[in-house]
Amino acid sequence: GAVVSQHPSRVICKSGTSVKIECRSLDFQATTMFWYRQFPKQSLMLMATSNEGSKATYEQGVEKDKFLINHASLTLSTLTVTSAHPEDSSFYICSASLPRQETQYFGPGTRLLVL
Amino acid sequence: DAKTTQPNSMESNEEEPVHLPCNHSTISGTDYIHWYRQLPSQGPEYVIHGLTSNVNNRMASLAIAEDRKSSTLILHRATLRDAAVYYCILSGSNYQLIWGAGTKLIIKP
């Protein structure tokens, strides 16, 4: 149980376009979802915390107008990278947790390459 | 700002136990200790977590020091599939996980 999926698994786009990444909890309802970014040979960096039905809370240094997060249902959160640039190329990972539980379950990640 | 300290890398032989240490001297009373692992180009995988008492599950054991300022993840019999980066993480009341650099575990056949 506790499976999280992400789509797409990898995407290549041109500079200036927008890219949407979906994160789904397949067998549980997740009141909280988290979005991370990971650059090569580095650790995960938390971008934002998303609670169903409310605005996401962004970490310091993460532009909320560039990284749009929508958590419209208990099983789906989306991250849209707007006007993507080559420096946005990274591995984006989402996770989901059960209500009032510590454990996070991670998706397989989305590799974004901006040309 | 990572609140945990781990060795950069460790090596172990296949089919032998592995003890991965983690220091968290600034841990607060409500922080849980989590361990996750990550294979290249994959999302992290939950391994184990605990608060005060030692914990066991099918993947590993977690030994927590009495003062909670350190912990050890124990893989009882390492296989090649256990080669990964292992992260020791503290979580607070907001359930956020702040990731450190982790320990790269190398398993030698």
Q: What is the pLDDT of residues A42-56, one digit of tens each?
A: 999 999 999 888 889
| Average pLDDT over every residue of A12-29 | 95
Pick the residue from chain B with its C-alpha nearest to A109: B43
> How far apart are the C-alpha atoms of B44 and A43, rounded to whole Å?
11
CA closest to A37 among chain B residues:
B43
Q: Per residue in B41-73, pLDDT tens? A: 999 999 999 999 999 999 999 999 999 999 999
Q: With 90 as the cut, is the pLDDT of residue B74 above it?
A: yes
How remote is the C-alpha of B43 from its chain's centroid? 16
Residue B42 with chain A: CB contacts under 8 Å: 108-109
* Alpha-carbon span B44 to B85, nearest angstrom: 9
Expressed in angstroms, the distance from the first to the final Cα of chain A is 37
Q: What is the token pair recorded at B35?
A: 């361990």
Residue B10, phi then psi, degrees to nearest 5: -145, 150
Nearest CA-CA partner of A73 in A93, A89, A50: A50
Q: Rounded to whole angstroms, what are the CA distances from B27 to A89, B38, B90, B101? A: 34, 23, 8, 17
- Across the range A4-23, mean pLDDT stands at 97
- Beta carbons of B100 and A97 less than 8 Å apart: no
Residues of A with CB under 8 A from a CB of B: 4, 6, 32, 34, 36, 43-46, 49, 91, 93, 95, 97, 101-109, 111
B91 touching A (Cβ < 8 Å): yes
Residues in chain B: 109
Band (pLDDT 50/70/90 cuts) for residue B29 is confident
> B1-10 as b/e, with b when 16 or more CB fall inside 10 Å?
ebbbebeeeb
**Distance of CA A21 to CAs B29, B33, B49, B70, Å?**
37, 30, 29, 37
Asked if the model's pLDDT at residue A1 lies above 70, the reply is no
Average pLDDT, rounded, for chain B: 92
Report which DSSP code applies to B68.
Answer: S
What tokens were used for A108? 């397989």
Of A4, A102, A111, the CB nearest to B49: A102
Closest CA to A72 of A58, A52, A56: A52
Strand A110-114 relative to strand A90-97: parallel, antiparallel, unpaired?
Answer: antiparallel
For B95: left if phi > 0, alpha if psi spans -120 to 50, otherwise beta; the answer is left
Nearest 5°: phi and psi at A3? -100, 135
